[in-house]
Amino acid sequence: MKVALSTFRRKIAFQMRTPIWCRGQASQVGDACREVVDQLLEANALYRLRAAQGVLGLRKKYGDTRLEAACRKAVAVGDPSYRTIESILVAGTETDPEPETGDGGAAAFLHGPEGLFAATIPAHMTGEVHDDQDRGDAEEAAR
């Protein structure tokens, strides 16, 4: 009887925690959490309602501050899902700084787009003619 009562309570809780309830709770946590819940419930709200409820359920174990930081990080990396947010919280990486973007310490021999398309051997040394006008003149001279 105890198991049946427990299952019944979970089913009632699921029905009471509607998308409107989820959005309200997420707003109490913070803007990033609200953005995650909004994205989860944007399409197929009924199908993804359990994921939104799960994200909000992480409040009990980790608190609002850590959940908000994890949601912010999940949004920043482009994967606002329950699994990603939970993994961030379990690993404790919600406060780690974002990895630096850019060249990441690229070697000095990289010279940018100008150097990428520059001829490595000057055309006059190869004997090739690259301009259509010059090619026409060269063909006439060869005749």
Query: In this predicted structure, what is the pLDDT of residue 75?
Result: 94
d(Cα 46, Cα 40) in Å, to the nearest integer? Answer: 10
Query: In this predicted structure, what is the pLDDT of residue 63?
Result: 94
Query: In this predicted structure, what is the pLDDT of residue 134?
Result: 57
pLDDT beneath 50: ranges in the chain: none
Query: What tokens were used for 15?
Result: 């029905």
Q: Would you say 35 and 80 are in contact if contact means Cβ atoms under 8 Å apart?
A: yes
Three-state SS for 80?
coil
d(Cα 118, Cα 77) in Å, to the nearest integer? Answer: 35
Q: Would you say 79 and 39 are in contact if contact means Cβ atoms under 8 Å apart?
A: no
> What whole-number percentage of the chain has pLDDT above 90?
45
Q: What is the pLDDT of residues 58-78, one digit of tens each?
A: 999 999 999 999 999 999 999
